[in-house]
Amino acid sequence: MALYYMANLNVPNTLTLLRIFTIPVIVSMLVNGRHKTALWLFVFASVTDLLDGLIARLAKQQTRLGQFLDPAADKLMLVTSFVTFAYYGWVPVWLTVSILLRDLTVVVAWVAFYIVHRFVLIRSSLLGKAAIAMQMVLCALVLLRLNYGDMAPAPDAFVWATLAFTIVSALHYLYMGLSYRRE
């Protein structure tokens, strides 16, 4: 198993692993009141998210490991960020719960799909990517607000937009899973 991972450690997968290892450091910085460091680490992690996919496509270095690790890294980063933000009251708890429920719903649907069809069909959708992008932007706005106060844009509108995209993308993924049988 270790050889499999070593064989798939190309530049995109290394960037994704670097993003995963950055997550506990970001949370640690937030917990310890080092918000500026957390902001810069979040920016760094977000840039690696953009780069890993771009490099994988352009250099034709897409791997099955990367197809699993990249969305897992996104989920880990966003879930830990939102749980931390909700704990400190920086985002509404109900928003965090809706994000967690969306992710849980998608995972349960994938497991059910696997049980029925004996394979997992994981295709990202434009709505799913938009929901992730909205969640990332909201995280960045919260971190900017923590660091720069009223000089940073208020994240209120993004809270509602993030909720809307989160719900719509969950419904879209469920629709995609249910309509698979008809294809």
Span 22-46, pLDDT tens digits: 999 999 999 999 999 999 999 999 9
- CATH of residue 122's domain is 1.20.120.1760
For residue 121, the SS3 value is: coil
Residue 17's pLDDT is what?
92
Burial of 69 (0-12, 13-18, 19+ CB in 10 A): buried
Burial track 32-64 (b if 16+ CB lie within 10 A, e otherwise): eeebebbbebbeebbebbeebbebbeeeeebbe
User: Cβ contacts of residue 18 below 8 Å, gap of 6+?
Assistant: 48
CA separation (Å) from 168 to 96, 97, 131, 171? 16, 15, 8, 5
Decide: 70 and 16 in contact? Cβ < 8 Å.
Answer: yes
DSSP secondary structure letter of residue 150? G
Among 162, 169, 164, smallest CA distance to 136 is for 162
- Per the listing, tokens 């844009």 go with 153
How many distinct structural domains can be found in the chain?
Answer: 1
pTM: 0.85
Structural domain that includes position 126: 2-182
Span 148-182, pLDDT tens digits: 998 988 888 899 999 999 999 988 887 877 776 54
